[in-house]
């Protein structure tokens, strides 16, 4: 297993950049075919490469977060607010990994920009392709059973950017979102394990440079 | 149900009927952790939706907890440690 990992590492740095560009080309193909998309999303987030890319980007982002927080004077703020910074960075990296193919990822990224809500809505309208369904969405929701409808509404609130999405799209987004969240948890847990596993008692290492 | 379907015929651009909607919802089930359901038992769409919601909430909470833990670990670790973790992460996967 170690040998295969080493051989992976040799090409991994090149592979990382190649993979992302290859994935970009593949993604445009995926977006066009809606039928294959559900099977693709499950595989997409479960692939080791995707997790590796995410872990790398996350570690980089966290390094920046840490550098930013180390310059602030209040040590209390570091710990209390630090969790939020980490989470925001993790969500942002996760959304970036989706490469704009899903609504929830776009919603996360546009929320970061702190633009006023009107521009938010305009952006959403421009980016999404199913504007023509908007009028029929409301009508269809009235058709469903109220019990189911209520749960759908709760679900739409949980998945970012999907409050007014039609049900099929919402379910698709949910599928992708859950898979992505699972990967996020896996990657973050692995990172935390690595960080806590390595004892800080390395000779000559400074704690806060 | 059939009366509802006739009213849905006016929205011709949206094809899914109630049953199709239920089918789509059923597709969610394999994603969820199936702990207490026996797979043979018919699962209702609403329970799937409910489980989905609680599952997403659970995942959110896990991300939050992990974020807090990571921030604590990052605070106590030096920058060189983070670089090391970067390399180790690359090696691992």
pLDDT tens by residue, A153-182: 888 888 888 887 888 888 888 888 988 888
Residues of A in contact with B76 (CB under 8 A): 200, 207
Residue in A60, A66, A155 nearest the CB of B74: A66
pTM of the model: 0.62
**Cα end-to-end distance, chain B, whole Å:** 51
A183 has pLDDT over 80: yes
Whether residue A129 contacts residue A144, with contact meaning beta carbons closer than 8 Å, is answered with no
Beta-carbon contacts of A154 under 8 Å, excluding residues fewer than 6 positions away, are B49, B53
In terms of C-beta density within 10 A (0-12 exposed, 13-18 middle, 19 or more buried), how is residue A162 classed?
buried
Taking CA–CA distances from B9, the nearest residue in chain A reads A140
The span from the CA of A35 to the CA of A8, in Å, is: 33
Q: Is B25 inside a domain boundary?
A: no
* pLDDT number for residue B20: 78
Q: Which helix (H) or strand (E) holds B37?
A: none
Residue in A9, A56, A148 nearest the CB of B86: A56
The span from the CA of B82 to the CA of A64, in Å, is: 11
Kindly write down the DSSP assignment for every residue of A32-48, as one continuous string. Answer: H-HHHHHHHHHHHHH-H
Query: Domain span at residue B67?
Result: 46-92
Q: Best of B18, B44, B69, B70 to disrupt the A interface by mutation (most A CBs within 10 Å)?
A: B70
* pLDDT number for residue B59: 93
How many domains is chain B built from? 1
Q: Is B37 inside a domain boundary?
A: no
* pLDDT number for residue A74: 46
Beta-carbon contacts of A158 under 8 Å, excluding residues fewer than 6 positions away, are B53, B56, B57, B60
The span from the CA of A129 to the CA of A125, in Å, is: 8
Q: Is B61 inside a domain boundary?
A: yes
Residue A47: which pLDDT band, with cuts at 50, 70 and 90? confident
Which residue pairs, CB below 8 angstroms and at least 24 apart, start in A201-204? A202/B81
Q: Is B50 inside a domain boundary?
A: yes
């Amino acid at each position: 297993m170690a040998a295969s990992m080493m051989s992976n590492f040799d090409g991994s740095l090149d592979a990382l950049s190649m993979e992302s560009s290859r994935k970009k080309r593949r993604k445009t193909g995926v977006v066009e075919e809606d039928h294959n998309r559900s099977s693709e999303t499950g595989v997409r987030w479960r692939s080791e490469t995707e997790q590796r890319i995410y872990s790398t980007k996350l570690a980089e982002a966290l390094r920046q977060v840490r550098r930013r927080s180390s310059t602030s004077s209040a040590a209390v703020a570091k710990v209390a607010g630090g969790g939020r910074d980490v989470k925001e960075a993790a969500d942002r990296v996760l959304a970036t990994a989706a490469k704009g193919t899903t609504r929830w990822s776009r919603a996360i990224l546009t929320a970061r920009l702190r633009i006023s809500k009107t521009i938010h809505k305009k952006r959403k309208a421009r980016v999404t392709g199913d504007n023509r369904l908007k009028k029929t969405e409301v009508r269809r929701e009235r058709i469903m059973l109220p019990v189911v409808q209520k749960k759908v509404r709760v679900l739409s609130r949980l998945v970012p950017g999907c409050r007014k999405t039609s049900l099929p799209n919402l379910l698709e987004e949910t599928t992708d979102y859950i898979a992505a969240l699972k990967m996020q948890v896996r990657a973050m847990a692995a990172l935390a394990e690595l960080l806590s596993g390595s004892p800080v008692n390395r000779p000559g290492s400074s704690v806060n440079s | 149900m059939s009366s509802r379907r006739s009213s849905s015929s006016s929205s011709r651009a949206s094809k899914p009927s109630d049953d199709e909607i239920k089918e789509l919802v059923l597709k969610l089930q394999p994603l969820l952790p199936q702990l207490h359901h026996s797979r043979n038992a018919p699962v209702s769409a609403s329970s799937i939706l409910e489980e989905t919601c609680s599952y997403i909430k659970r995942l959110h909470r896990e991300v939050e907890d992990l974020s807090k833990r990571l921030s604590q670990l990052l605070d106590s670790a030096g920058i060189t440690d983070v670089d090391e973790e970067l390399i180790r992460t690359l090696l691992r996967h």
